[in-house]
Amino acid sequence: MAAASSSDYDGCGAESNEASSKWLDAHYDPMANIHTFSACLALADVHGDGEYKLVVGDLGPGGQQPRLKVLKGPLVMTESPLPALPAAAATFLMEQHEPRTPALALASGPCVYVYKNLRPYFKFSLPQLPPNPLEQDLWNQAKEMSLPSVPVFLEVSGQFDVEFRLAAACRNGNIYILRRDSKHPKYCIELSAQPVGLIRVHKVLVVGSTQDSLHGFTHKGKKLWTVQMPAAILTMNLLEQHSRGLQAVMAGLANGEVRIYRDKALLNVIHTPDAVTSLCFGRYGREDNTLIMTTRGGGLIIKILKRTALFVEGGSEVGPPPAQAMKLNVPRKTRLYVDQTLREREAGTAMHRAFQTDLYLLRLRAARAYLQALESSLSPVSATAREPLKLHAVVQGLGPTFKLTLHLQNTSTARPVLGLLVCCLYNEALYSLPRAFFKVPLLVPGLNYPLETFVESLSNKGISDIIKVLVLREGQSAPLLSAHVNMPGSEGLAAA
């Protein structure tokens, strides 16, 4: 059934009516019973007749009864069961002669199934069969690349035989970037939250995170921008309009919005009756620019981009911003400025040498201080791989009684830590601790363990001092790591 399923907004936030909307509502079926995500959607001319079909790796209701569905327009043309839940779907050309009908590759369970003319053609099981001798060298180059964690999103650009870049978002919250000639990651992007999507737009990597935000990075890991979303990001995909050379990012949110961004500029907002869980944009049927969405309840939404639609950043303003035409109030050159310029011109070499000398001395002192901190375990983060620990302290209260909370964390990936002790060293003339010695329980990797005690200030003059916190292993005198807690002055005693 066809119905007006949603409304859209332009970049400046004003609601568009049906006449000025950028999208045509082609189809909406809330009972389509399609449960999938963006990686399991593919648009391809699977029959070679010039009419593109939608291939869906359907998870089924509640993750039961997975099926491979092929849609023509709003109707399901073919449907076949799958042995396991689908993970991804992609189309590729495997023939050299005309007509070149694309084949379908579907990852399901431990296997990759290849369909030709929508019929099972090949099954690739893991662990893989011995490769073809002609491809052995390529596989050897590929398997030499290693990542520190399990990848969940991959984004590849370039050609394998010439030059390529591979960006992998992993389960440890980092994004690793590899090149063709590198066995290990060349760059690493550390995220503050887990990634939920990874899209490449031209030379920018756009990452969605569980902190409800989009981030833009270069291929060298430099952050370019961040955009905060009004709700959690459920799915992401690329919108590419070839006729206008437009590439943008589509993000489906939990509040029922689909937002379209070019870099950090909002181009369009589409409101849907239900939260969108998968997005796909491309040629469908005989329309070049078709947006296909499936919802959390299993609904199907098809929208067509109008041929006259134009995405403009920030609404209808075209051209340079008004601030570009404003003249700057540049002050006049003073006599002091001229004298200083002449001095720098005459003594430029000596000034540069003095600056370089001071810079080298600063680096040397910083390296010495860092080495001393590592040797004496003065860092709150363990520097050894055998004891991967992290410690930080929080002081609460106005005084004279403070609450000291020590947060100890095992930063390893799989190995628990046992047999640790925590000791507090302090000036007994200034403070009193009823509990200055802790026996740490078993530290499970990734969990934060708070250890609490109370600090009583004994000075009536508002004097504060440092409390040293040491983490030791039973039977060893050298601490594993330490932290210096700067105690605040007791405001309660000062007021009294």
**Closest CA relative to residue 476, chosen from 423, 434, 416, 426:** 423
Radius of gyration of the chain (CA): 30
Does 42 fall in a domain? no
Instruction: List phi, psi (to 5°) of 94.
Output: -120, 5
Task: Tell whether the model's pLDDT for residue 299 goes beyond 50.
Answer: yes
444-483: b or e for each residue (b if 16 or more CB lie within 10 Å)?
eeeeeeebebebebebeeeeeeebebbbbbeeeeebbbbb
Query: How is residue 259 written in tokens?
Result: 């937002």
Q: Which residue blocks in 299-411 are alpha helix, DSSP H?
A: 335-346, 348-375
Residue range 477-494: average pLDDT?
76
Q: Can you tell me which residue has the tokens 């437009």?
A: 246
Query: Bigger pLDDT: 251 or 411?
Result: 251
* Percentage of the chain modeled with pLDDT above 70: 86
Task: Tell whether the model's pLDDT for residue 472 goes beyond 60.
Answer: yes
pLDDT tens per residue across span 351-378:
999 999 999 999 999 988 877 776 665 6
Does 90 fall in a domain? no
Q: What is the pLDDT of residue 365?
A: 93
Q: How confident is the model at residue 2 (pLDDT cuts 50, 70, 90)?
A: very low
CA-based max dimension of the chain: 93
Contacts of 458 (CB under 8 A, 6+ apart): 400, 429, 430, 431, 432
Domains held by the chain: number: 1
Query: How is residue 131 written in tokens?
Result: 């490769």
Query: How is residue 161 written in tokens?
Result: 């035989």
Query: Bigger pLDDT: 313 or 190?
Result: 190
Does 447 fall in a domain? yes
Q: What is the pLDDT of residue 185?
A: 84
Residue range 75-102: average pLDDT?
83
Angle, helix 348-375 to helix 335-346, in steps of 10 degrees:
80
The amino acid present at 375, given as its one-letter code, is E
The amino acid present at 19, given as its one-letter code, is A
Q: What is the pLDDT of residue 183?
A: 77
Task: Tell whether the model's pLDDT for residue 191 goes beyond 80.
Answer: yes
- Strand ranges of the sheet holding 431-432, from the earlier edge strand across to the other edge: 389-396, 401-410, 448-457, 431-432
The helix (H) or strand (E) run that includes residue 491 is helix 491-495
Peptide bond into 61 cis (omega under 30): no
pLDDT, mean over the chain: 82
Cβ atoms within 10 A of the Cβ of 150, count? 9
Cβ atoms within 10 A of the Cβ of 204, count? 17
Residue range 417-441: average pLDDT?
86
Whether the full predicted model's pTM is greater than 0.85, yes or no, is no
- What is the residue range of 424's domain? 381-486
Does 466 fall in a domain? yes
Does 1 fall in a domain? no
Does 94 fall in a domain? no
Q: What is the pLDDT of residue 112?
A: 87
What distance in Å separates the CA atoms of residue 62 and residue 1, rounded to the nearest whole number?
A: 24
Pairing type for strands 53-58 and 67-72 reads antiparallel
Q: What is the pLDDT of residue 369?
A: 85
Domain at 467, CATH number: 2.60.40.10
Query: How is residue 347 written in tokens?
Result: 């003594």
Q: What is the pLDDT of residue 83?
A: 85
pLDDT tens per residue across span 89-118:
888 887 777 777 888 888 888 888 888 887
Helix (H, G, I), strand (E, B) or coil at 467: strand
Q: What is the pLDDT of residue 366?
A: 92
The helix (H) or strand (E) run that includes residue 137 is helix 136-143
Task: Tell whether the model's pLDDT for residue 318 goes beyond 80.
Answer: no
Q: What is the pLDDT of residue 258?
A: 92
Helix (H, G, I), strand (E, B) or coil at 134: helix
The helix (H) or strand (E) run that includes residue 325 is none
* Percentage of the chain modeled with pLDDT above 90: 15
65-99: b or e for each residue (b if 16 or more CB lie within 10 Å)?
ebbbbbbbeeebeeeeebeebbebbbbeeeeeeee
Q: What is the pLDDT of residue 484?
A: 84
Q: How confident is the model at residue 47 (pLDDT cuts 50, 70, 90)?
A: confident
Contacts of 474 (CB under 8 A, 6+ apart): 419, 420, 421
Signed CA dihedral, 329, 330, 334, 340: sign only: positive
Does 387 fall in a domain? yes
What distance in Å separates the CA atoms of residue 11 and residue 206, rounded to the nearest whole number?
A: 19
Does 400 fall in a domain? yes
